[in-house]
């Protein structure tokens, strides 16, 4: 899997899964097109973080410095980000699929947000996994403290997103 190629070792992680009565191809289309801010919960949480919350798709996340690290059509999408997520502005760094693996600036962390699809019998398991690798002990302490408070909300965003995708994919 792409996520293992880009970040085999990590300090923090979170995984959520949902079973969808639709093909992987149909789910993949919805995953790429869905406005995640259809959810009032996600809209509210984005606003709290100071992010635009009118209409946000996976490709729109590039505006927030998320970069697509890799994609396997109908199977997997991987987004990456590097910065000091625990600070107000995030101090985000420019990364891409070429330099993400080598990024190792002290005091920073890098994160991966992956989506994988596994189809069987016309149904698809959609899994979202987030992994964070802190570059040094200082960033691990800072991120760990931040994660204690933010993780429940991070998980809520992912669960809400999975529900929206399920609803839309099953309607098509």
pLDDT, tens only, 113-133: 999 999 999 999 999 999 999
- The closest of 31, 11, 6, 58 to 166, measured between CA atoms, is 31
Q: Are 118 and 24 in contact (CB under 8 A)?
A: yes
Query: For 19, left (φ over 0), alpha (ψ -120 to 50), or beta?
Result: beta
Check residue 23 and report its DSSP letter. -
| Average pLDDT for the chain | 94
Burial class from Cβ neighbours inside 10 Å (0-12, 13-18, 19+) for residue 165 reads buried
pTM: 0.93
Q: What percent of the chain has pLDDT over 90?
A: 81
pLDDT band of 85, cuts 50, 70, 90: very high
| Residue 116 neighbours by CB under 8 Å, 6+ apart | 1, 3, 75, 76, 126, 127, 129
In whole angstroms, give the CA distance from residue 170 to residue 165. 8
pLDDT at site 55: 85
pLDDT, tens only, 145-167: 999 999 999 999 999 999 999 99
pLDDT, tens only, 4-29: 999 999 999 999 999 999 999 999 99
Check residue 89 and report its DSSP letter. S
Q: Which CATH architecture has domain 2-171?
A: 2-Layer Sandwich (3.30)
Q: Indicate whether 49 pLDDT > 90.
A: no
CB atoms within 10 A of CB 28: 25
């Amino acid at each position: 899997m792409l996520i293992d190629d880009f970040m085999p070792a990590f300090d923090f992680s979170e995984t959520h899964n949902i079973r969808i009565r639709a093909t992987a191809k149909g789910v993949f289309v919805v995953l790429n097109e869905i406005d995640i801010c259809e959810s009032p919960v996600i809209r509210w949480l984005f606003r709290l973080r100071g992010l635009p919350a009118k209409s946000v798709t996976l490709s729109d996340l590039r505006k927030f410095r998320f970069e697509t690290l890799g994609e396997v059509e109908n199977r997997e999408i991987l987004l990456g980000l590097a910065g000091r997520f625990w600070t107000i502005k995030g101090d985000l760094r420019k990364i891409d699929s070429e330099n993400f693996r080598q990024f190792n600036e002290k005091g920073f962390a890098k994160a991966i947000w992956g989506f994988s699809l596994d189809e069987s019998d016309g149904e698809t398991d959609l899994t979202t996994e987030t992994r964070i690798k802190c570059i040094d002990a200082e960033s691990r302490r800072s991120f760990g403290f931040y994660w204690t408070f933010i993780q429940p909300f991070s998980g809520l965003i992912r669960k809400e997103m999975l529900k929206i995708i399920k609803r839309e994919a099953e309607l098509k």
